[in-house]
């Protein structure tokens, strides 16, 4: 369909994944197979599903992958909250990441609306 690297929402999601990887590198070692793995997986899934959807032939398929991406964004939002509540990240880091995720969610919803019409 199109080059995913040109989509602003993909760029923002990719940057979020990089931030999440950097931030989670400071999480406790006991969490390597817990929240660290889960938050990384969900953050990467946002951009990965946008990319995969762009490779599909129909708008219906693309919408399905954007929907999965939206779910992953909400999942990441929860893990960010959990990390804050467990004192793995500061309130400032939480606010930054939460703002980024909220923008990605809004962008995904807008893109889905455009594709549906």
Q: How many domains would you assign to the chain?
A: 1
**pLDDT value at residue 2:** 80
Q: Is the pTM of this model over 0.85?
A: yes
Q: What is the DSSP letter of 87?
A: T
**pLDDT value at residue 45:** 98
- Residue pair 103/12 in contact by the 8 Å Cβ criterion: yes
CATH number at residue 25: 1.20.1440.60
- Residue pair 4/50 in contact by the 8 Å Cβ criterion: yes
**pLDDT value at residue 80:** 97
**pLDDT value at residue 1:** 62
How many Å apart are CA 44 and CA 104, to the nearest integer?
Answer: 13
- Residue pair 80/97 in contact by the 8 Å Cβ criterion: yes
What domain range includes position 94?
4-116
Strand intervals (E) in 1-117: none
Mean pLDDT by 10 residues, the chain (117 residues): 90 98 95 95 98 92 97 98 97 98 98 93
Q: What is the CA radius of gyration of the chain?
A: 14
């Amino acid at each position: 369909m199109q080059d995913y690297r040109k989509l602003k929402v993909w760029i923002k999601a990719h940057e979020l994944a990089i931030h999440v990887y950097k931030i989670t590198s400071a999480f406790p070692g006991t969490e390597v197979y817990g929240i660290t793995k889960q938050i990384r997986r969900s953050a990467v899934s946002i951009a990965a599903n946008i990319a995969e959807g762009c490779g599909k032939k129909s708008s219906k398929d693309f919408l399905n992958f954007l929907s999965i991406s939206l779910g992953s964004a909400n999942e990441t939002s929860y893990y960010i909250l959990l990390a804050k509540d467990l004192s793995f990240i500061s309130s400032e880091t939480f606010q930054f990441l939460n703002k980024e995720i909220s923008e990605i969610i809004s962008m995904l919803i807008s893109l889905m609306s455009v594709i549906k019409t």
